Homo-oligomer: A and B are copies of this chain.
Amino acid sequence: MTRANEAWESLMKAYSVLMKQFNAEDIWGDLTMREYDVLYQLSKYDSPLRMSELNRHVLLSQPALSRMVDRLVERGYVDRCPDPGDRRGVRLSLTPAGRETQKQIGSPHARSVTRALNVLTPEELEQLAVITGKLSQSEE
């Protein structure tokens, strides 16, 4: 077992433990965490996102994301309109309701995250961000 493998296993464990913890909290309303994640990713950009680009930020297969967006459009959280520049693609953005809902859920969730990561010192938080940033550098 190399250092790298130990580190990866530890990262997965932390992800798993914290995800379960967050998921168990009663703050998600009528959304699943995965659905919230989609709203959150969309909230980070004010210009509409392409489906394929959104897919790069979400741990879902392309068909699964396509259908989830379907449902979010159906429920009035997401707006999907054809991309004028590329008629194969679509432009995704939050509706006002979607933006509002994201904020309503995001606010208590952000507090949970802060609380959970409070066991780390400011230096450790900084290191964690830098190190995990390096790990996903192949993207973006």
Contact = CB atoms under 8 A, between A and B. Distances in A.
Most chain B CB within a 10 A radius of its CB, from A7, A18, A19, A127: A7
Given A18-B135, A58-B16, A135-B17, A118 B4 contact: yes
A14 B11 contact: yes
Contact of A134 (B5, B19, B119, B135): B119
Most chain B CB within a 10 A radius of its CB, from A11, A13, A118: A11
Contacts of A7: 117, 120, 125-126, 128-129, 132
Contacts of A59: 15-16, 19-20
Interface residues of A, number: 46
Most chain B CB within a 10 A radius of its CB, from A5, A125, A131: A131
A34 B119 CA distance: 29
Contacts of A10: 128-129, 132-133, 136
